[in-house]
């Protein structure tokens, strides 16, 4: 199939280029606010919901308690993964904002905007301080909840069922640790 000729586009003047960059800058900041809101508000709400379900186990009939004790650990994998995804997305946005700041400063031939490019926590944690604190807290809470599930299952099951449940909890713990390890090694590829 023959290649279609491409139209030549007129080059933007420096002011037009800066206008486009500022529009993208503002859009990225709005997305960063959304990600920070998710990390600051939605993640604690989801964690509190999981804790409430675990707290109900002693009050539930045995079969319902077993279902909750199976559901909570796997929900922790979801909880950790979504938290990490928000932190990584926030990191991508922060690096994109930094790149726009540098492009605007280059076009202006002086430093006009520098908040992200000179931020003291830049490059120290994926998702900045908010991402680090939230993922760390979610990891700690997950460890406590997994330990609580093991404790609450203590007398309910015997023999191979107890061993299988402990293996299940170990598998969930390994999955969570793997996600946290990947998060710590994540680097923006912009």
Q: What is the pLDDT of residues 65-112, one digit of tens each?
A: 889 999 999 999 999 999 999 999 999 999 999 999 999 998 888 888
Domain region containing 181: 14-185
Over the stretch 153-176, which tens digit does the pLDDT of each residue have? 875 566 888 889 999 999 999 999
Mean pLDDT estimate for the chain: 88
Residue 7 lies in a domain: no
Number of domains in the chain: 1
Residue 180 lies in a domain: yes
% helix, strand, coil for the chain, step of 5: 75, 0, 25
Q: CA 87, CA 73: separation in Å to the nearest integer?
A: 21
Residue 35 lies in a domain: yes
Residue 106 lies in a domain: yes
* Alpha carbon distances (Å) from 178 to 84, 165, 173, 185: 11, 20, 9, 11
Residue 145 lies in a domain: yes
pTM, entire model: 0.83
Residue 130 lies in a domain: yes
């Amino acid at each position: 199939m023959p290649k279609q000729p491409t139209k030549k586009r007129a080059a933007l003047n420096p002011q037009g280029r800066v206008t486009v960059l500022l529009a993208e800058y503002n859009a990225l900041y709005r997305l960063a606010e959304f990600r920070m809101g998710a990390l600051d508000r939605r993640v604690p709400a989801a964690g509190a919901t999981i804790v409430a379900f675990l707290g109900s186990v002693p009050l539930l009939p045995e079969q319902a308690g077993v279902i909750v004790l199976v559901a909570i650990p796997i929900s922790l994998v979801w909880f950790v993964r979504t938290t990490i995804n928000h932190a990584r997305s926030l990191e991508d946005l922060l690096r994109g904002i930094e790149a726009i700041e540098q492009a605007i400063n280059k076009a202006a031939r002086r430093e006009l905007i520098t908040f992200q490019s000179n931020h003291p926590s830049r490059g120290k944690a994926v998702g900045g301080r908010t991402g680090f604190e939230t993922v760390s807290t979610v990891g700690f809470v997950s460890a406590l909840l997994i330990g609580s599930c093991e404790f609450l299952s203590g007398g309910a099951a015997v023999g191979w069922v107890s061993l299988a449940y402990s293996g299940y909890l170990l598998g969930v713990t390994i999955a969570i640790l793997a996600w946290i390890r990947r998060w710590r090694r994540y680097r923006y590829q912009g």
